[in-house]
């Protein structure tokens, strides 16, 4: 993995889900989520870029170097066969609403571990 992208709302395309319906609030919540996740990764000596992905599209996201953390409501809206092409973890909607990634640290750690082993 070279980066993590956070998908909690989507601004373009046919399907444009939002966390709260207010772009400013949504961006602030996702920014807080990213900052906390970045700080935790740094404590683990993991240097990965963590960014918000507002332009998410499954057809453009088949990148093995990116781990997508996607809102569970968004995951539920996409066909499973298309999701298989993307390296992602489903994140509870409430975790994004609270800007708190702590419930996902273990899953992120495990996914990064698996990715590291595959690269060796």
| CATH number, position 114 | 3.40.50
Here the tokens at position 64 are: 């093995």
- What is residue 23's DSSP assignment? H
Mean pLDDT of 72-100: 94
3-state SS class at 69: strand
The number of helices, as runs of H, and strands, as runs of E, in the chain is 5, 4
pLDDT over 70, % of the chain: 94
What's the number of domains the chain is made of?
1
Edge-first strand order for the sheet with 3-7 is: 49-52, 3-7, 66-71, 88-91
Band of pLDDT at residue 18, cut at 50, 70 and 90: very high
3-state SS class at 91: strand
Q: Is the pLDDT of residue 32 over 90?
A: yes
Q: Is the pLDDT of residue 44 over 70?
A: yes
∠ CA 86-87-89 to the nearest 5 degrees?
Answer: 115
User: Domain of 97?
Assistant: 3-118
Q: List b or e across 104-117, with b for residues whose CB sees 16 or more CB atoms inside 10 angstroms.
A: beeebeebbeeeee
> What average pLDDT does the chain have?
91
From 5, 7, 35, select the one nearest 19 (Cα to Cα): 7
Mean pLDDT of 66-91: 93
Band of pLDDT at residue 119, cut at 50, 70 and 90: low
Residue owning tokens 């400013």 = 24
From 89, 11, 20, select the one nearest 54 (Cα to Cα): 11
């Amino acid at each position: 993995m070279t980066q993590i992208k956070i998908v909690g709302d989507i601004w373009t395309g046919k399907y444009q889900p939002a966390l709260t319906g207010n772009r400013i609030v949504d961006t602030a919540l996702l920014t807080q989520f990213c900052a906390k996740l970045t700080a935790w990764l740094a404590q683990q000596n993991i240097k990965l870029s963590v960014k918000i992905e507002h332009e998410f599209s499954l057809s453009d996201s088949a990148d093995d170097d990116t781990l997508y953390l996607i809102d569970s409501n968004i995951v539920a809206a996409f066909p499973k066969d298309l999701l298989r092409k993307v390296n992602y973890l489903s994140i509870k909607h409430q975790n994004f609403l609270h800007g708190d990634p702590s419930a996902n640290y273990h899953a992120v750690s495990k996914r990064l571990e698996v990715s590291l082993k595959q690269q060796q």
